[in-house]
Structure 1
């Protein structure tokens, strides 16, 4: 399996990233797929660029996605589509109810295009890395919306958006498989600080919150159901393990 980085969020300088364009993948999708197939790779992750698709509220232009959809179809690549990869149109407040409805409507329009263009079983990731966005964008102001102390609020908002998007997807194409992706983390307490054990374990277990919300096992009032989990995707990064309140471990650390 391969993947093409597709982040579209704004960084602290105000600049918006568009990594699909920065890497030239939008122009060279067929050539990129050819190189993957030479390595025996026929499944990829791709992402929508919502800020390009909906530049005017309620009006959709999928010209940024169609070349990739068609290249994948013609070359028999299986695509897992990221519907939301850290970025959204500038006129939307991510904490507003409008965010959920606008996202669900855009997703419905995309699924209509995708279903018209290809008869493959679709695979989609409604919201990429809900736990990471909630922490990075809602707790520590690392990425947009650059909030602090609003991580739980942002996580709930993203869960609502993911559920609404899944329902939009299935309205158009009930065969679609849903891939829910989050990073896995491991946190332990310093052996010399037994008083940190409960906090470290609570932090470690928080990695499952988004999946439990989607499944309706936690905060069931949000409307989660087991069927929304479907396929679980796990990301692992080189900084995903640490001792509580310390810096991430290096991969060379014997722990």
Structure 2
């Protein structure tokens, strides 16, 4: 199918939120879902771990109280569609109604790692692209009168690495061939989902593409690998937007591992475009180092050393995303894991960096602190330790174990975020 003009990113008449000249402030609620279990691996569902399923009504109120306008919020596909052809809408109906009640704009994260339990082979199943598109369209059909902003797949390159190259998550593929296979499958689903939503919503739809901002540096010994990894950071977005042809730096790598000329032609013919390009950046983790005499494949099992490049790394990634895709850009996730004072310092510094970029003329339209409240480290999945041992202090609100469950405790970050989120005058010439 050739992508419709809207699926390719053509804008309808009238400004949308990201065209009004303002810097919009958002929050995210950690929504990783890897529900499949096997020996030594527990189901990973951050909504269950953080008790968001029980506290969603109040949690969204906390986001509004903190001054957020946008909330990146994920749909748990495996719970919404417990079996093929059947959707359990009641819980999600209540969540969407709450967004409307509060006047919050949800940016729906439709695919945040986990497929339904009934989809054998997960992302490797030949029907995955059709299944994820059907689900995405069903969501748009039900909520399109209230929800217009969609992220078809969050961090597809992290998906591909964890499910492909590293064999950490289903379908547990490994090596370059596994990575390329997952990139191709995720791209097919990405394109079909966005095209389907666009057919339902037309010009009302806004597509926020989101991937992890990954940076690489190191010694001359690893120069070729560093060059490949830097290009690989953008690979799924390049495939989805039809940028990959014979001249692409990774064309030979893709061909070597099973992507045919016909595949690339299909990706170009079905290209979709972002209305906003989102970059996720964590200063203490987003810059990985490859050093002489050391070999690190990356990920949990063999992590590479990292370097904190602060706001310089953030600015570099946002500039590169804007230049590469010619669209407005957003910081769609950021924080530091640490003390309240460390988080406050990064909040101030990162907001200032975005304001500086806007003053330079870069079209930065949104800032998102992730997450609203603390979360639990993904290594919980392969651990037997209690959840408290995996707590990551990252949020505006702290999670604290109480006899009745998890409490959300306000920290000074709430007031500081609210201060930054107060409406500021539009930059001259951008309104």
Mark yes or no: TM-score above 0.5.
yes
Query: Which of 104, 107, 111 is 2:136 aligned to?
Result: 107
Deviation of 1:127 after TM superposition, in Å, equals 0.9
Query: Which of 27, 30, 33 is 1:5 aligned to?
Result: 30
Q: 2:237 maps to which residue?
A: 211
Q: SS state of the match for residue 65, structure 1?
A: helix
Q: SS state of the match for residue 216, structure 2?
A: strand
Q: 1:236 maps to which residue?
A: 281
Flag structure 1 segments of 5+ consecutive residues without an equivalent: none
Q: SS state of the match for residue 33, structure 2?
A: coil
Greater length-normalized contact order (CA 8 Å, ≥ 6 residues apart): 2
Q: Contact 2:195/2:272 (CA < 8 Å) preserved in 1? A: no
Q: Deviations over 1:65-121 (max 9, x none)?
A: 2221110011110011111111011221221221111111111111111125x2x5x
- Structure 1 CA distance for aligned equivalents of residues 277 and 167 of structure 2: 27
- Structure 1 CA distance for aligned equivalents of residues 266 and 88 of structure 2: 31
- In the TM superposition, 1:16-165 aligns within 5 A as 16-92=43-119, 93=121, 94-116=123-145, 118=146, 122-149=148-175, 150-165=178-193
Summarize the Cα distance change of 1:159–1:58 in structure 2 as closer, same or farther, 3 Å threshold.
Answer: same
Summarize the Cα distance change of 1:11–1:4 in structure 2 as closer, same or farther, 3 Å threshold.
Answer: farther
Q: Deviations over 1:20-67 (max 9, x none)?
A: 233232333332222222221121011111111111211112223222
- Structure 2 CA distance for aligned equivalents of residues 99 and 170 of structure 1: 19
Q: SS state of the match for residue 187, structure 1?
A: strand
- Structure 2 CA distance for aligned equivalents of residues 67 and 23 of structure 1: 19
- Structure 2 CA distance for aligned equivalents of residues 198 and 211 of structure 1: 22
Deviation of 1:2 after TM superposition, in Å, equals 0.5
Q: Contact 2:64/2:102 (CA < 8 Å) preserved in 1? A: no
Q: SS state of the match for residue 128, structure 2?
A: helix
- Structure 1 CA distance for aligned equivalents of residues 60 and 87 of structure 2: 26
Deviation of 1:11 after TM superposition, in Å, equals 6.1
Q: Contact 1:214/1:229 (CA < 8 Å) preserved in 2? A: no
Q: 1:188 maps to which residue?
A: 217
Q: Contact 1:166/1:228 (CA < 8 Å) preserved in 2? A: no
Q: Deviations over 1:177-204 (max 9, x none)?
A: 11111111111232xxx24212212211
Between 1:170-179 and 1:26-35, the stretch displaced more is 26-35
Equivalenced residue count is 248
Summarize the Cα distance change of 1:147–1:209 in structure 2 as closer, same or farther, 3 Å threshold.
Answer: same
- Structure 2 CA distance for aligned equivalents of residues 82 and 38 of structure 1: 22
Q: 2:324 maps to which residue?
A: none
Summarize the Cα distance change of 1:96–1:250 in structure 2 as closer, same or farther, 3 Å threshold.
Answer: same
Q: Contact 1:187/1:200 (CA < 8 Å) preserved in 2? A: yes
Flag structure 2 segments of 5+ consecutive residues without an equivalent: 1-25, 246-263, 297-303, 314-431
Q: Deviations over 1:113-154 (max 9, x none)?
A: 1125x2x5x111111111111111100112222221201000
Deviation of 1:19 after TM superposition, in Å, equals 1.6
Between 1:15-24 and 1:47-56, the stretch displaced more is 15-24
Greater C-alpha radius of gyration: 2
Summarize the Cα distance change of 1:35–1:147 in structure 2 as closer, same or farther, 3 Å threshold.
Answer: same
Between 1:90-99 and 1:9-18, the stretch displaced more is 9-18
RMSD: 2.2
Summarize the Cα distance change of 1:34–1:90 in structure 2 as closer, same or farther, 3 Å threshold.
Answer: closer
